[in-house]
Amino acid sequence: MGSSYREGRAIGGRTDVCFAVSALLSREEIQDFTTLLTDKRSANRYLLRRVVVLVDNSSGVYEERDLPPNRLVVFGRALQQFTTDFFTMNPTSELAVVGMSGRSATIISPMGAGSATHAERIADKFTSDGDLSFQRGLARAGQVLAAAPAHSTREVLALLSSRVTRDTDLDGGVAAAVAQGLTVHTIVAGCDVHAYRAAAVSTGGSCSVVRTEQELTSCLASHCVPRAAPETQPASFVRMGFPCVLTHLGASVPCVCHGVPHTTTYQCPRCAGRYCTIPTTCLDCGLQLVSSTHATRTAANLRPEPITTDVAAGAGARCVACMVRLTEGSPMAQCGACGAGLCPSCRDLAARDLRTCLGCLLKVKGAAVAAVVQRVAGPVAVERVAQKTVRPAQKTVRAVKVLRRKPVKKKTPGAAKKAALFD
């Protein structure tokens, strides 16, 4: 596949037009983008994000035992899960991890994309020592985000545990963060601390207090969703390149990003630089390298969440997606558009990943299947297929296979004579 460019009009990192490279995107994907942009419920969101995670690695993190076995282990597990979920929903964004210990701030994992690399470095360099200095952490985050492009966000997510911070001028550090345009979000374990909340409020961020590992995981997952952008946000053009894959037979070629030899690399369409993974930003020409899959998953954040209402399940109620029988009186989500009932797990899946009601999706697929059957087996079969569409998609496909008629072969005169001899 040849290399191509794509120009996307972005509002603060929000894609505002369909992608121009029709050869790299299917017709269904282009139609989906058009639907997203014309839907009035679609929110403007910052899709190109630069996030720095500040982690409290002071000695108190290891000593506190309210989160078993200790807060250090729980923070490490939660961060590894967060990096995976973050790049699943934001494949064109970048993230860095900075540890705060010994009254200083050190980079655990530099700014870049790829959840596997961040998870490995968190597991290798995640230790605790000394006292916390929140001011030094904000200063280091400002240095890392100084090179962020103008169309991307500059977010700081602080995971804090210590109730005391050893700073010389924390108010000055917060003022410097406001001047740089940083948005600080704080997550405090155990109790609320006024200094952390004031830093978040001053920069336009949020402050949360968690007391269990489940609350910590849920709070981190909420920061994976890109935040909404105002309608008055100025627009800017962001150029992205779709690199081609090169396979080197009999030899290994070092990548530009790490200098490690690889047999398969991605070539930048502008300067022919070779990289081991995408998405990434070209170090020579500054072009952001992505694939059509990354662009599709990023644009899915523009799709509004399905509107559901929490109701009590009736007698014999089933989830329309997984077909699990729900006990009478148990919680169930009912779609406001199609009226289908979903169990809590399928509702979370539809809201977080699909951004589409599974009941509405089955109805759309059923209508498409009915159109195919009408051309193959006639209008009588369409009514029978319409009765099957209330079941899962597997049942609908099975109905199509049963109703599809085999073509009748015309017998030649010679074949008719031979058949008459054997009668």
| DSSP secondary structure string for all residues of 104-146 | EEEEEEEEE--HHHHHHHHHHH----S---HHHHHHHHHHHHT
Given a cut of 50, whether residue 399 has pLDDT beyond it is no
Structure tokens at 200: 């978040």
The total number of residues written for the chain in this structure? 423
**Confidence category of residue 378, pLDDT binned at 50, 70, 90:** very low
Q: Return contacts of 119-123, CB within 8 angstroms, 24+ apart.
A: 119/80, 119/83, 119/84, 121/97, 122/76, 122/79, 122/80, 122/83, 122/97, 123/76, 123/80
pLDDT at 205: 94
pLDDT tens-place string over residues 207-250: 999 999 999 999 998 899 888 777 777 767 788 899 999 998 87
**Confidence category of residue 359, pLDDT binned at 50, 70, 90:** confident
**Range scoring the smallest mean pLDDT among 253-267, 390-404, 408-422:** 390-404
pLDDT at 404: 42
pLDDT tens-place string over residues 120-177: 888 888 888 889 999 999 999 999 999 888 888 999 999 999 999 999 999 999 999 9
324 half-sphere exposure, CB direction, 13 A CA radius: 10
* Cβ count within 10 A of residue 325: 11
Q: How far is Cα 274 from Cα 258, in angstroms, rounded to an integer?
A: 10
Residue type at 246 in one-letter notation: L
Peptide bond into 306 cis (omega under 30): no
The overall average pLDDT reported for the chain is 77
**Confidence category of residue 31, pLDDT binned at 50, 70, 90:** low
All residues at 6 or more sequence positions from 192 whose CB lies less than 8 Å from its CB, including other chains = 207, 209
**What's 257's DSSP letter?**
T
**Confidence category of residue 3, pLDDT binned at 50, 70, 90:** very low
Q: Dihedral of the CA atoms 103, 107, 109, 110 (nearest 10)? A: 150
Structure tokens at 210: 């968690």
* Positive/negative CA dihedral, 350, 354, 358, 360: positive
CA distances, 297 to each of 16, 34, 87, 379 (Å): 15, 15, 10, 38
* Cβ count within 10 A of residue 417: 9
CA distances, 34 to each of 27, 42, 397 (Å): 11, 11, 28
Q: Among 351, 361, 371, which Cα is nearest to 393's?
A: 361
Q: How far is Cα 106 from Cα 347, in angstroms, rounded to an integer?
A: 40
* Cβ count within 10 A of residue 231: 8
Domain annotation for the chain: domains and CATH numbers:
4-41+231-299 (no CATH), 49-222 (3.40.50.410), 302-358 (3.30.60)
Q: How far is Cα 41 from Cα 16, in angstroms, rounded to an integer?
A: 14
Given a cut of 90, whether residue 193 has pLDDT beyond it is yes
* Residue pair 125/35 in contact by the 8 Å Cβ criterion: no
**Confidence category of residue 297, pLDDT binned at 50, 70, 90:** confident
Given a cut of 70, whether residue 15 has pLDDT beyond it is no
Give the distance from CA 260 to its chain's centroid: 28
Given a cut of 90, whether residue 98 has pLDDT beyond it is yes
CA distances, 221 to each of 85, 294, 301, 319 (Å): 7, 19, 14, 25
Given a cut of 80, whether residue 295 has pLDDT beyond it is yes
**Confidence category of residue 392, pLDDT binned at 50, 70, 90:** very low
Given a cut of 70, whether residue 368 has pLDDT beyond it is no
